[in-house]
Amino acid sequence: MNLEEINKTNPSPSDVIEWGIKHAEGNAIISTNFRPLEAVLLHMLVQVQPDIPVLWVDHGYNTPQTYKCAEQLIKKLNLNIKLYIPKRTSAHRDTVNGGIPNIEDVEVHDAFTEEVKLEPFMRGLAELSPTVWFTAVRKSQTDLRSNMDYVSTFQDNILKTAPVLDWDDAQMLAYIQEHDLADYEEKFYYDPTKVIENRECGLHKLN
| Helix, coil or strand: residue 92 | helix
As for how many domains the chain has, the answer is 1
Q: Is 86 within the bounds of a domain? A: yes
Q: Is 30 within the bounds of a domain? A: yes
For residue 161, list its beta bridge partners.
134, 151
206 in Cβ contact with 119 (< 8 Å): no
Q: Please compute the mean of the pLDDT values over residues 161-182 and round it to a whole number.
A: 92
pTM of the model: 0.90
Q: What is the pLDDT of residues 56-77, one digit of tens each?
A: 999 999 998 899 889 999 999 9
Residue 190 has pLDDT above 90, yes or no: no
Which CATH number does the domain housing residue 175 bear?
3.40.50.620
CA distance 171 to 177: 10
SS3 content of the chain, % helix, strand, coil (to 5): 45, 15, 45
Please give the pLDDT value at position 149. Answer: 87
Q: Is 8 within the bounds of a domain? A: yes
Domain that holds residue 175: 3-191
Residue 206 has pLDDT above 70, yes or no: no
Q: Is 197 within the bounds of a domain? A: no
Please give the pLDDT value at position 185. Answer: 60
Q: What percent of the chain has pLDDT over 70?
A: 89
Q: Is 60 within the bounds of a domain? A: yes
Please give the pLDDT value at position 1. Answer: 64
Q: Is 206 within the bounds of a domain? A: no
**Average confidence score pLDDT of the chain:** 89
SS in 3 state form for 111-166? HHHHHHHHHHHHHHHHHHCCCEEECCCCCCCCCCHHHCCCEEEECCCEEEECCCCC
Q: Is 11 within the bounds of a domain? A: yes
Q: Which residue has the higher pLDDT, 145 or 168?
A: 168
Q: What is the pLDDT of residues 19-52, one digit of tens each?
A: 999 999 999 999 999 988 899 999 999 999 999 9
For residue 146, list its beta bridge partners.
none
Q: Is 203 within the bounds of a domain? A: no
